[in-house]
Amino acid sequence: MIILLSIMATLTFIICSVVMFISSFLAKKTYMDREKNSPFECGFDPKGSARLPFSLRFFLIAVIFLIFDVEITLLLPVAPILSLCNIYSWVITSVFFLIILLLGLYHEWNQGALEWTE
């Protein structure tokens, strides 16, 4: 069994390495040039910075969304396993998970992270 797993792991590694080598060999090569890296403004020198500062508020909302999105995907299998496990342990686990989720939401709301305007 262990020999079969090691053969499969080695074969997977070889296939991945070959695909990565072929893709890097066939990929379009880009040459870094000062003109190509500068922002395009009809041939004129740029008036301001082409790199605008990223809104930290948007980043915080995106991270909160990702956290709650992952928690929802963890919550989805709870209903189908109801018939496979003890009802008491299922209820305790589900309620505990939901309480943690709601406490996290309350904390974010209390800290003002969910406010769009200031």
Here the CATH number for the domain that contains residue 81 is: 1.20.58
The tens digit of pLDDT for each residue in 49-78 reads 656 677 777 888 888 888 888 888 888 888
Phi, psi of 33 (to 5 degrees): -135, 145
Q: Provide the 8-state DSSP code for 33.
A: -
Whether the model pTM is above 0.75: no
Tokens of 30: 């880009």
pLDDT mean across residues, the chain: 81
Q: Do 60 and 113 touch, CB atoms closer than 8 A?
A: yes
Structural domain harbouring 10: 2-111
Within 13 Å of residue 32, how many CA atoms lie on the same side as its CB? Answer: 0
Per-residue pLDDT band at 40 (split at 50, 70, 90): low
Q: Is residue 118 part of a domain?
A: no
Q: Is residue 18 part of a domain?
A: yes
Count of structural domains, the chain: 1
